[in-house]
Amino acid sequence: MDAKYISGIAEIDSQHEELSRLVDSLREVIAQKEKRHLVHPALKRLHQMLVTHFEYEEALMGMVRYTDLSQHMKMHRNVLKLFENYFDHPPLPGDHEHLGKLITDKVLGHVMEHDSKMVESVREHLNRQAGR
């Protein structure tokens, strides 16, 4: 993951790094026709990791009383919904690129834009507690 997205909160960073690895391998299997059968398991793995990750983030945001918690949670739900739609109605062959791109863009976009805002506020909270 790009250095500018490193938050300094170790657990969040390692989870984001794992997510970024899963997104990369999803992109890879989408890009190669002979690996199409691996798209579904790759999505399952990414989905599973996101469920755990979102729970962790939401607990953290609750702990620091993050003001945009409900909005942030709504975005998490929307990302998970993309996966659920995919699992409920798998796309026709040929639509994989489009769907895979949509999902990977949404996941990475969320991390880059909204998680960095959230992380900033968590850091401020920790600094206040430390009396800095």
Q: CB-based contacts of 103: which residues, under 8 Å, 6+ apart? A: 26, 43, 46, 82, 83, 86
Q: Applying CB under 5 A, which of residues 39, 42, 50, 57 lies at the interface with Fe ion? A: 57
In contact, 19 and 53? CB cutoff 8 Å: yes
Question: Does 115 engage in binding with Fe ion (CB under 5 A)?
Answer: yes
Question: Does 60 engage in binding with Fe ion (CB under 5 A)?
Answer: no
- Give all strands (DSSP E) within the chain, no chain letters: none
Q: Tell me the closest approach of the beta carbon of residue 114 to Fe ion, in angstroms.
A: 6
Q: What is the rounded CA–CA span in Å between residue 23 and residue 119?
A: 21
In contact, 16 and 115? CB cutoff 8 Å: yes
What is the radius of gyration, based on Cα positions, of the chain?
Answer: 16
Q: Tell me the closest approach of the beta carbon of residue 72 to Fe ion, in angstroms.
A: 6
Judged by beta carbon, residue 11 or residue 97, the one nearer Fe ion is 11
Judged by beta carbon, residue 32 or residue 56, the one nearer Fe ion is 56
Residue nearest to Fe ion (CB): 115
Judged by beta carbon, residue 56 or residue 87, the one nearer Fe ion is 56
Q: Tell me the closest approach of the beta carbon of residue 101 to Fe ion, in angstroms.
A: 20
